[in-house]
Structure 1
Amino acid sequence: MMRSRVVSSLFVDRIRAKPKLKLVEIIHEFKNYYGIDISYYHTWFGKELTKLDVHGDESKSFNELVWYVNAVKGTNPGSLCVLECEAGINRFRRFFVSFGGCIVGFQYCMPLLFIDATFWKSKYYGQLLCASGNNGNQAFYPLAFGVVDSETEENWTWSLQHSAAILLPMGRVVTFFSDCNQEFDIEVPKSGYGKLLQDYVINLFSICAYAVTEEEFKVAMDKLVIVGSSKVKAFISDLSRDHYANTFFKGMRYGQMASNLAE
């Protein structure tokens, strides 16, 4: 226990800055800096103690969500804060929050909403669904967040329905952006293509997306269909070109194409 406490006290700043610091890294650093060997168990337990000190007890934090919802609504008028639990057992299922101040401020941002998801970095696996605007300084403006168990169509529908409850009263037409680059990368695996050909295929798709005329779009698409595999062709055929191609998009982009909030 003493050794674990020593690890916790000496590495608290490192683990706070890098929560995913590997145990083997801690063991090697402990040896290099202090010339002392420490067991894997004491290293693991020391890191757990540090995480507890820095972030608190994650399991107990779920019990505070009911209080948090009431606190948000009481101190930030106009907020939309929804906690959903499984019926009968009251086990956490998902959580949505949009602060009243952010809702008011979004009305002064461009009518653009970027949606994305990132992994929830804790011992309880899940994902954070994000909806963010774009302010006058071309910086992201946080509007809403959803905490869910996984990135599924059901969870996204649930989150977007709550987002719609915020946006509809504003009376503005809002353009949604969703980054699908990684999906296309999956359809163009490196093996079998080679890096150069893979980059060429992805570049052709980018030309299709950014094309400003139908002729430019057709030329790039014809090349893409020729060099793309059957998986690429199937992927493209399932896409509505008015959703990803600048030429056919019926709404307003305001000079934007896509953005990845997770980064």
Structure 2
Amino acid sequence: MVYNATYINHVFFIRHINLITGLCVVIGLTDSGEDSGIETESDCDSWHSEDMDKVLDSDEEEPTVYPPYNEKAKFGNLKLEVSMIFKSKQHFMNATRDYTIQWGRNINFIKNDNVRVRAVCKIEGCPWVVYCACNKQNGVWQIKTLVDEHSCPRKRKNRAATQEWTLGKLVPKLRKHPTMKHREVYDWFVRKCNVKLNRTCITRALKAARKVVEGDEVEQYGLIWDYANQLWTTNPGSTVQVGVIPMPESPPQFQRFYVCLEACKKGFKAGCRPLIGLDGAFWKSLHGGQLLTACGQDANNHVFVIAYAFVDVENRDNWHWFLEILQNDIGDYRENSWAFISDMQKWGSIQLKELVWECARSRTVSEFERNMKRVKVLNERAWAYLDKWPKESWTKSHFREGPKMDTICNNACESFNARTKHDRGKPILTLTEEVRRIIMKSMIDNREKLANYQGLLPPVQQSRLEAMTKLSQHWSPQWSGDQNEELYEVHGWPTTMVVDLGNRTCTCRFWQLTGIYSHPILRF
């Protein structure tokens, strides 16, 4: 038997343990490599564990841990390296696509099968290459080769930035900023991803992303009845009505949807002014339509939504249906002296528009007639259009004095339409929920604003009274000599007003229309 020279002058012992007999034989190896045949009694009588025969190597390393791909890394900080592992082939291909878009390069997957993927730069002569293969033992994919150098220039337009890739980036962004528009999406991709997308890609990706975030428009029409039942359950006493058009050989077609929450009914009857604004706004969904609203104002002139409805088209039939249900909810308008206001006409000429507003603001009949003559001189056709309408419906000079309202603008509905402007492109149930949340939040905010307020008048009315008090400094009252000292003549250049404190009247009619003292009265 021949041994290596490194074992010269050393003696090795191999212990053999016979577990059955308990005998121990020690065979010694001499320098010549022959068996010595010597047995030791102490070794035979002692027990030796098998673990004692194992040789522990102090330099033995733990199993290698390969770096996984970091999916949470921000775009711009993505990295690839040799030995990096991925969950699947698709995971590797998506990561490679993100990585190359990050650096503005176009690549081709020249090898793509079930066990390996190789990608190279599209530019001929560029050395960039990555090779990833599947590990059969654990099923993960691992980068085997990576030459991370480009000799080609960077490009902002990248064919790898497909609609699918754009959609994946856009969905989480749209959840945080649901009102993003086409141009904002384009600017965001240029700023964050340094890539320019074409208009078609952005349009399709934005539409698909909205479908993911907001829901499918067509499917939501089939859930309207379920949503109506949920509103009845969570808001007892609310009025919810769904109108459909029966179809002979298919499911019914949506026509209109009315909602009046119980809190809105009680709130309007308990503490709002007797004025209801009516307006419609375009509903920019897949099939289009109109959002009809009825809004009031509380004592502090805050917008108070009473009811709203979604209809397929704004016409007389749908308005009649809407107002009929609204009257059943809040009571007969004659018994409660409700007043209604709506926008009906837009004026083109600026000068004509200002004159029409002067006619509407006129509080006395003489002032109104004077302004109407000016309108007739400027545009007789406009004068004829205004003259055919009942005066008490649009000018202060003919308003009833009971409601104590001098509002001639439908600002409550306009304000509500402005708040829902960015939401009116969403599907019907998503938009309905947004409207309900807007109503709920406005009620809470208005309550918190006045929670700690102290005063006889609401803040808006108090500020209006203070403004009138400042104007009253230019007026001088003079008693007319009546027995009860109630009639006064108040002089203020260039006009003079007569104030009757007993009957609470002023010839300017401000006191009668609003219930607030006018500046001639505040001089007392």
What TM-score results when the alignment is normalised by the length of structure 1?
0.84
Q: Which residue identity does 2:368 align to in structure 1?
A: F
Higher RCO (C-alpha 8 Å, min separation 6):
1
Residues 200, 42 of structure 1: alpha-carbon distance in 2 compared, 3 angstrom cutoff = closer
The one of 107, 126, 129 aligned to 2:269? 107
Indicate the residue corresponding to 2:486 in structure 1.
none
Question: What secondary structure does 1:94 align onto?
Answer: strand
Residues 78-110 of structure 1: CA deviation (Å, up to 9, x unaligned) = 111110000234110011110112111111222
Q: Distance in 1 between matches of 2:321 and 2:220?
A: 23
The one of 21, 25, 39 aligned to 2:181? 21
Indicate the residue corresponding to 1:254 in structure 2.
405
Residues 38, 56 of structure 1: alpha-carbon distance in 2 compared, 3 angstrom cutoff = same
Q: Distance in 2 between matches of 1:31 and 1:38?
A: 8
The one of 179, 202, 211 aligned to 2:343? 179
Indicate the residue corresponding to 1:80 in structure 2.
239
Question: What secondary structure does 1:107 align onto?
Answer: helix
Q: Which residue identity does 1:223 align to in structure 2?
A: R
Are the aligned partners of 1:15 and 1:21 in contact in 2 as well (CA < 8 Å)? no
Give the count of matched residue pairs. 248
Q: Which residue identity does 1:140 align to in structure 2?
A: V
Residues 140-165 of structure 1: CA deviation (Å, up to 9, x unaligned) = 11110010122212211111111111
Residues 245, 115 of structure 1: alpha-carbon distance in 2 compared, 3 angstrom cutoff = same
Indicate the residue corresponding to 1:166 in structure 2.
329
The one of 197, 210, 218 aligned to 1:51? 210
Residues 113-138 of structure 1: CA deviation (Å, up to 9, x unaligned) = 11111111322211100001111321
Q: Distance in 1 between matches of 2:398 and 2:313?
A: 32
State yes or no: 1:213 paired with 2:364: yes
State yes or no: 1:66 paired with 2:225: yes
Question: What secondary structure does 1:78 align onto?
Answer: coil
Query: 1:38 offset after TM fit, Å?
Result: 2.6
Q: Distance in 2 between matches of 1:201 and 1:238?
A: 17
Residues 5-39 of structure 1: CA deviation (Å, up to 9, x unaligned) = 432344443686464723x6534553454332334
Question: What secondary structure does 2:314 align onto?
Answer: coil
State yes or no: 1:157 paired with 2:320: yes
Q: Distance in 1 between matches of 2:174 and 2:303?
A: 28
Are the aligned partners of 1:212 and 1:246 in contact in 2 as well (CA < 8 Å)? yes
Name the stretch that deviates more: 167-176 or 13-22: 13-22
Q: Distance in 2 between matches of 1:257 and 1:39?
A: 47
Q: Distance in 2 between matches of 1:25 and 1:69?
A: 35
State yes or no: 1:140 paired with 2:291: no
Query: 1:234 offset after TM fit, Å?
Result: 3.8
Q: Distance in 1 between matches of 2:320 and 2:275?
A: 18
CA RMSD of aligned residues (A): 2.4
Please, which runs of 5 or more residues in structure 2 have no aligned partner?
A: 1-159, 419-524
Question: What secondary structure does 1:35 align onto?
Answer: coil
Q: Which residue identity does 1:70 align to in structure 2?
A: N
Q: Distance in 2 between matches of 1:124 and 1:137?
A: 38
The one of 373, 398, 411 aligned to 1:222? 373
Residues 207, 169 of structure 1: alpha-carbon distance in 2 compared, 3 angstrom cutoff = closer
Name the stretch that deviates more: 207-216 or 82-91: 82-91
Query: 1:174 offset after TM fit, Å?
Result: 1.1
Percent identity of equivalent pairs: 23
Q: Which residue identity does 1:148 align to in structure 2?
A: V
Are the aligned partners of 2:240 and 2:258 in contact in 1 as well (CA < 8 Å)? yes
Q: Distance in 2 between matches of 1:41 and 1:241?
A: 53
Question: What secondary structure does 1:184 align onto?
Answer: coil
State yes or no: 1:244 paired with 2:387: no
Q: Distance in 2 between matches of 1:86 and 1:31?
A: 47
Q: Distance in 2 between matches of 1:31 and 1:6?
A: 15
Q: Distance in 1 between matches of 2:350 and 2:175?
A: 37
Indicate the residue corresponding to 2:283 in structure 1.
120
The one of 347, 352, 375 aligned to 1:201? 352
Query: 1:243 offset after TM fit, Å?
Result: 0.6
